[in-house]
Every structure is written in structure tokens, then in C-alpha cells.
Amino acid sequence: MKYLLTLWGDESSWESSSPEKVAAEMRRWEEIDAEMRAAGVLVGGEGVEPTSAATTVVLRDDGKAIVDGPFAETKEQLGGFYVLDCADLDEAIEWARRIPVDPPGSIEIRPVMDYEAPGPEGADETGAAGS
Amino acid sequence: MLGDFDLAEEAVQDAFVIALERWPEHGIPDNPGAWITTTARNRAIDRIRRAKRLAEKTDVLRRLEELEPRAEPGAEAGLERDPIPDDRLRLIFTCCHPALASEARIALTLRTLGGLSTPEVARAFLVSESTMAQRLVRAKRKIRAARIRYEVPSAERMPERLPSVLAALYLIFNEGYLATSEEGLIRGELSTEAIRLARLLTDLMPGEPEVAGLQALMLLHDSRRDTRVDADGSLVLLSDQDRDAWDGAEIAAGLELIERAHRLLRRPRGIAAPGPYLLQALIAAEHAKATSADDTDWARISMLYDRLWAVSPSPVVALNRAAAVAMRDGPEVGLELIDGIEGLDGYEPFHAARADLLRRAGRHEEAEGAYSRALELATNPVERRFLERRRQEVAGR
């Protein structure tokens, strides 16, 4: 099953890095990339430019607007993503642990919708009590 | 190439369908035969994977369903029928997976392992039946949608996974422990249920000192259950409880578990330090061993709180430590410590403890203020009566 991992961190600390630090960073990312490929889990993944390069299309009932900046100001900003094909959540969590996001940061794991999955399962959907 | 003939046929059909869809748009590939074969193989692999995943996907949910007890009174929890200890352990850890919200973990644990029906769990946590049913449905949906793994965590992961299981069981115990007779027997039974689950966990994980520590802690607290509230339904302080009415068998069992935990700590890895549940059990044991309130070894309890603070530095631990130190060194010393604790302004026991120390220190006006603050936050009727009485005492001075 595929999982989208979005990577969040403090972009101001990325922007103030020295060239040596950036080079060392790149190596860590290349390493994890290689590991994911070797394990056969990497479906895709990219780093994204900081929020200063973001543009948002705001959709409201009364129209659309194009706005400079990210959709929301957040304490940690989106810096990149992976799509990994893992057996289960716990495997995705193990990969998330190894992704070199510096603290403070977060990696959100979201299952990708599987439109080909078999239909609804189980009567528990009704939430029947006393069952 | 592919062992299953039906599968192979189906896969080739798929490939033709894809070809019909794709080729008009993308053009015919250079080697159509090879393309069909490759596509067929990929589709077959997809199907196999999906079938396997479906089997796995439904496995944990099926287990959860199977083990839910029937609604008839006297029906055994499905657990007793289950001959495979491993499965119950997998279930406990899955119910308490960190990807599930804390209240979901507790609801799922009680429903699936605790032998409670949905209405019973709802009553225990003072929510409506439909709210609880929804909580359970959402939790199961998350397990399915995110595909939470149905397993006992590896040794490497155990130190970070075990605490949430222990925390869930302890929360269940506390819900029942703090209940009064007014709120119905079901909540008293929660403590019993928590103890049963803790015992199950001790049986399944005999090598874990914190598991033994948790069970000991629960038994020692529970031994005092009958003496916490008097005939009028008023709260009886630890110092005023009739120690003869404490349950000797539970105390003995608790002390024995503490011994067991200590033996485990001395095992191969050398001498490991007690964790938070064992330390709390040791503190509870000090009360259990004291023949009267005056005999309580507050110096040792204070030292144990120092160690608890070292492994589990939370404001609540600091508060309890301050209360113990006050018993050893006097209320003024305790007050200095309490006044240094941040973040507990919305926590009723903080104000109740502070009020108590102010009262003992003779600072009655301040004590009255603190009791008032505690009353603003207190919801339990028995506690409220107690705090109200104390406030009137100090207001009189």
C-alpha cells in the first residue's frame, strides 16, 4: 500500500546553512534515497522550494484568487515528500524514522487512497451497539 | 512462469484490456508480444499482492471482531476461549498502537480484551452509547485504512511501545478507582477489569519488570478501596483510613510482585533502575507496610519520589513529591516546592494539596483561597464535600 510522507521543518534553519553543511545534507538525502530504492519501496519523492516560492490558488464559494505564499502560515513548513510502497503503517513509520529531517520537524504519514481496493468491509461500519 | 493457471489467464486478459485502452492513444509498442507478457506478469503480481493484503487486512479486524464478547449476561470474554497467548499480546499492542488516539486505545482495549459491552464502556467513561460506538468504529477504520500492523513489537521497539499499553491499563484502573458508590458499580468493576488485564499482561510478559510493577501498583491501591469512603459517602484520607480493613491478600500479592520485579531488574543486564510504575508501587508499598499513619516512612517515600522525578519529570510527580517532603520536613518546605511548580493551575489536586499545606502552616486566609480554587475545579461529589468542609474550617479562623 502506498503512503504519502510529507516532511515538515523549520525552513529558516535550512536557508541559513553553510555550503559544507548543505553538501553533507545532500549526502544524507542521497543515502536514504538509495536505501529506499534498494528496498523497492520508493515510488517517488522530491524536495520543494521554500514557502517564499509558493503560490496558492484560494478556492471559495464566491470565486478563486491567486495569492502569494503557502496556503497557511505554519510553525513548520513543507520541505518535501515521498511516496513509499510499504506493507503496512509500521513499515512506513520505520522509514520515516530514518528520513534525515532535523528537529524540530515532523513527518506526516498519510495512506494513499486505493481506488482498486475491494468494496466496503464489515457490518461494523454501521457502528451497531451491543454487538 | 506463473504457477496458477487461472491467475495467468486472468492476468493475460487484463493485459489485453489495457492494450485496447492504451494503444490507440500511445501507439502500438515495438514488441507487442513482449509487452503483453510483461504487463500480464505485472498484473498478476498486483493481484497476488492485493489478495495477500486483503487476507492480512481482514485478519486483524477479524480477530478484533471474534474476540468481542456477546451481549448476553454471563458470556465469557472471548479471551478466555483463546488458547493462543501470542494472539492476545498482539491484540493488546495493536489496540494500544501509537497511531490511535489515546481514548480510542482505551475504548478498544476494554471492548476487545476487557470483556465489556459497548454500553458498558460508554457508561464507564460517561459518554453516550452512540459516541462510544462511533469511537470504536473510527478506531477500527483507522486500523484498516492506515493498515496498522498486527504484531507484538520487536525487542528494539518494545521500550517505546510498552508504555502506552501500561498507560492505557492504568487509565482504566484510575477511572474505576476514583469512582464512588454513587456513580454505580460499573466503575468499581473497571478497577477489577484493569487488574485482570494487568495480570494477563504479567502472564504474557513475565520478563518485564514494569509490567509487574504496574500490577503491583494497582493491587496496592485497590487494597484500600473499601476504606476510602465512609458510610456517609465522605472521603477518608489515607491517614485516617482503617488499616485493618485494607485487603491483606492484595497487599501481599502486590509486595510479592515488587520482589519479582526487583529480581528481574538484577538479571543478565546487571542492575537496572526501577521504572516509573515500579517506583510508584514502591511508594504505595510504604503506605501498605506502615501499621499506622504515624509509622509511615516519609523519608523513604520522599527519596522514592526523587527517583521517580529523575525518570519521569512531570509537574504531577513534582506535586506528589512536594506533599511527601512536607510530611518529612514540614508544610513550609512543601509549600516552597509547590510554589515552584508550573502548569498545574487547572489541576484540582494541585490546589487541594496547596490548600492543605497552607492550612497546616496556619496560613488560613490563603488556605481558604486555595480551597475555593480547588472547588472551582472539583467535579467528584465526594471530593467536593470534603473540600467544602475544609474551607469552612479555615474560614472560621
Query: Can you give the pLDDT at residue B94?
Result: 94
Which among A87, A89, A124 is the nearest to B137, CB-wise?
Answer: A124
Q: Which residue of A lies nearest to B151 if distances are taken between CA atoms? A: A90
Q: Is B147 in Cβ contact with A130 (below 8 Å)?
A: no
pLDDT tens across A89-124, in order?
999 999 999 999 988 999 999 999 988 766 554 434
- CA pair distance B12, B3, nearest whole angstrom: 14
Task: Suggest the residue from A112, A124, A126 to mutate for an interface test with chain B (most B CBs closer than 10 A).
Answer: A124
The predicted pLDDT at position B80 comes to: 46
Q: What pLDDT is stored for residue B41 in this prediction?
A: 64
- Cα distances (angstroms) measured from residue B221 to each of B17, B169, B225: 68, 14, 7
Contact B11, B2 (CB under 8 A): yes
Between A16 and B55, the more confident residue is A16
C-alpha distances out from residue B142 to A32, A125, B161, Å? 28, 12, 18
User: Considering the domain boundaries, does residue A29 fall inside one?
Assistant: yes
Task: Tally Cβ neighbours within 10 Å of residue B284.
Answer: 24
Q: Inspect the interface and report whether the beta carbons of A127 and B61 lie closer than 8 Å.
A: no
What is the extent of the structural domain holding A6?
2-111
Q: Quick one: how far is CA B136 from the chain centroid?
A: 16
- Give the model's pLDDT for residue B138: 95
pLDDT of residue B66: 63
The answer to whether residue A34 sits within a structural domain is yes
Residues 73-92 of A with CB under 8 A from B: 87-91
What is the model's pLDDT at position B234? 75
Q: Is residue A16 part of a domain?
A: yes
Q: Is residue A127 part of a domain?
A: no
All residues of chain B having their beta carbon less than 8 Å from the beta carbon of residue A1 are 53, 147
- List CB contacts (< 8 A) between A124 and chain B: 61, 65, 136-137, 140
The answer to whether A130 faces chain B, any CB pair under 8 Å, is: yes
How many Cα atoms are found within 13 Å in the side-chain-facing hemisphere of B61? 24
The domain total for chain A is 1
Torsion of CA A34, A39, A40, A44, to 10 degrees: -40
> With an 8 Å Cβ cutoff, are A131 and B130 in contact?
no
**Are B68 and A91 an interchain contact pair (Cβ–Cβ within 8 Å)?**
no
What residue of B is the nearest CA neighbor of A110?
A: B146
Cβ–Cβ below 8 Å for A130 and B99 = no
pLDDT score at B246: 93
At residue B291, the 3 state secondary structure works out as coil
Asked if B136 has any chain A CB less than 8 Å from its own CB, the reply is yes
Q: Do A1 and B53 touch (CB under 8 A)?
A: yes
- The predicted structure's pLDDT at residue A91: 97
Could you tell me the CATH number of the domain that includes residue A54? 3.30.70.1060
| A121: in domain | no
What's the gap in Å between the CA of A78 and the closest CA on chain B?
21
Q: Which residues of A touch B71 (CB under 8 A)?
A: 130-131
Residue A14 covered by a domain: yes
Global ipTM: 0.81
b (16+ CB within 10 A) / e for B124-151: bbebebeebbebbbbbbebbbbbbbbbb
CA distance B100 to chain A (A): 12
Instruction: Compare CB distances from A89 to B53, B134, B146 and report the shortest one's residue.
Output: B146
Task: For residue A55, name the pLDDT band (cuts at 50, 70, 90).
Answer: very high
Distance from CA of B166 to the nearest CA of A (A): 20
> Which of A3, A90, A110 to probe the B interface (max B CBs under 10 A)?
A90
For each successive 10 residues of chain B (397 residues), what is the average pLDDT?
52 58 59 61 62 58 62 44 65 94 92 85 86 95 94 90 93 76 58 91 92 97 86 79 93 97 83 91 95 93 96 92 95 96 91 95 96 90 88 88
CB–CB of A89 and B61 under 8 A? Answer: no
pLDDT at B83: 45
Per-window interface: B 17-76 vs A, CB < 8 A: 50, 53-54, 56-58, 61, 65, 68, 71
* Inside any domain, residue A126: no
Q: Look at B119 and A131 and tell me if their CB atoms are within 8 Å.
A: no
Which percentage of chain A shows pLDDT scores above 90? 73
CA B116 – CA B114 distance, rounded (Å):
6
C-alpha distance from residue B52 to each of B3, B39, B42, B377 (Å): 16, 20, 15, 53
- Distance, in Å, from the CA atom of B114 to the CA atom of B108, rounded to the nearest integer, reads 9
Q: What span, in angstroms and rounded, lies between the C-alpha atoms of A41 and A86?
A: 6
Burial B38-50 (b: 16+ CB within 10 A, else e): ebbbebbeeeeeb
Name the more confident of B337 and A16.
B337
Closest residue in chain B to residue A94, using alpha carbons only: B157
Residue A24 inside a domain? The answer is: yes
Nearest CA to CA, how far is B72 from chain A (Å)?
9
B88 compared with A45, residue with greater pLDDT: A45
Residue of B117, B133, B149 with shortest CB distance to A88: B149
